[in-house]
């Protein structure tokens, strides 16, 4: 009897990744992971019980200047966080979300098309808590922007939804620190891909957003073009600009070719860039200006977001 009790205590709480699951992940979502990164991701899946095949948890790769490579970060969807809270047995629902403008008055629905909400808040309830646990998120702190420091397509089109998800993720993590410690949602971490300007804040006024001009489609080149490679050294550019160019180049390539991105083949990269910037021909990303690279990154993110919504 005692042996059975010990065995039950040692049994994993959730279904563990099988060898087949690990093989599929290694070839798909985790193709860019190092051996250590893959083991970390697999162990996180096993401990949280979140399903990577249901997009509840997934690896994201961002350029790290110190390590001079793309480094894995683990992110979870807001649905994954809700699932963890529900499985705890202490989750008793939510209050909100609520949004406020510059006047600080909280509203249960955001109806303005002329300005973005300044903040959102969500309250989480637990059966063993006496009061609601609130968390608030400021739009300025979480909005994902283009290189011109303006909200990207998703944040411009769904500002109330995006900032409400950030507030909900904050509240869930505060209410369930044991289960969600160190796990951040996609909406919270989208700002990590923002370019780093020298000065200035995000322009969050919809009325001042520039109208993007759609470039005329370029005629496809008859000969296949080599896939452009990120320019590691731009001798003619100032140090900071060259650094920004390298980061943007790596971000663009990650968005275009990775499994978590658009999954382009090498032969599809050049036509995409030609379509976006309107150039008839080019050989390397180093020929593009920061503005052109930023435009490519923005369009790639928008297409990836549209694909996710669809």
Bridge partners, residue 122, by sequence = 135
**132-174 pLDDT per residue, tens:** 999 999 988 888 877 777 887 888 888 888 899 999 999 999 8
Instruction: Pick 220 or 84 by higher pLDDT.
Output: 84
User: Do 156 and 302 touch, CB atoms closer than 8 A?
Assistant: no
In the chain, at which residue ranges do the beta strands (DSSP E only) sit? 57-64, 69-76, 91-100, 106-107, 119-126, 133-138, 184-185
**162-220 pLDDT per residue, tens:** 899 999 999 999 889 888 888 888 788 877 666 555 444 555 555 444 444 445 555 55
**91-130 pLDDT per residue, tens:** 988 988 999 998 888 999 998 888 899 999 999 999 888 8
Query: What is the model's pTM?
Result: 0.59
pLDDT at res. 11: 46
* Cis, bond preceding 126 (omega within 30 deg of 0): no
pLDDT at res. 16: 84
Q: How large is the average pLDDT for residues 217-224?
A: 51
C-alpha distances (whole Å) from 179 to each of 95, 125, 226, 254 are 21, 15, 47, 30
Lowest mean pLDDT among 14-23, 31-40, 51-60, 282-291: 282-291
Work out the pLDDT band at 51, boundaries 50, 70, 90.
confident
As a whole-number percent, the residues of the chain with pLDDT over 70 amount to 74
Instruction: Pick 7 or 74 by higher pLDDT.
Output: 74
- Evaluate if residue 70 carries a pLDDT over 60: yes
**229-259 pLDDT per residue, tens:** 554 444 444 555 556 677 777 787 877 877 7
- Token reading at 114: 């002329």
User: Do 62 and 73 touch, CB atoms closer than 8 A?
Assistant: yes
Question: What is the Cβ-side half-sphere exposure of residue 286, based on CA atoms within 13 angstroms?
Answer: 12
pLDDT at res. 134: 93
Instruction: Pick 304 or 20 by higher pLDDT.
Output: 20
pLDDT at res. 265: 79
pLDDT at res. 243: 66
């Amino acid at each position: 009897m005692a042996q059975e009790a010990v065995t039950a205590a040692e049994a994993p709480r959730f279904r563990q990744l099988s060898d087949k699951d690990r093989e599929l992940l290694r070839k798909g979502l985790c193709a860019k992971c190092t051996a250590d990164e893959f083991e970390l991701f697999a162990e996180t899946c096993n401990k949280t019980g979140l399903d990577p095949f249901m997009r509840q948890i997934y690896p994201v790769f961002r350029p790290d200047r110190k390590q001079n490579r793309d480094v894995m970060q683990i992110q979870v969807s807001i649905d994954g966080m809700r699932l963890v809270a529900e499985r705890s047995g202490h989750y008793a629902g939510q209050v909100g979300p609520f949004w406020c403008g510059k006047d600080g008055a909280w509203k249960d629905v955001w109806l303005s098309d002329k300005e973005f909400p300044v903040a959102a808040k969500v309250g989480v309830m637990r059966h063993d808590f006496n009061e609601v646990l609130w968390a608030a998120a400021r739009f300025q702190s979480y909005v994902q922007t283009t290189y011109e420091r303006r909200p990207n397509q998703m944040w411009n089109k769904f500002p109330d939804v995006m900032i409400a998800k950030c507030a909900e993720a904050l509240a869930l993590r505060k209410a369930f620190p044991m289960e969600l410690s160190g796990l951040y949602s996609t909406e919270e971490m989208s700002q990590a891909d923002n370019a780093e300007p020298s000065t200035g804040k995000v322009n969050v006024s919809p009325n001042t957003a520039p109208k993007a001009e759609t470039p005329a489609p370029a005629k496809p080149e008859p000969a296949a073009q080599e896939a452009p490679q990120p320019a590691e050294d731009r001798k003619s550019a100032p140090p900071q600009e060259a650094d920004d160019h390298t980061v943007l180049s790596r971000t663009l390539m990650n968005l275009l070719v990775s499994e978590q991105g658009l999954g382009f083949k090498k032969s599809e990269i050049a036509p995409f860039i030609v379509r976006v910037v309107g150039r008839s021909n080019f050989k390397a990303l180093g020929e593009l200006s920061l503005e052109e690279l930023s435009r490519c990154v923005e369009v790639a993110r928008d297409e990836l977001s549209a694909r996710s919504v669809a």
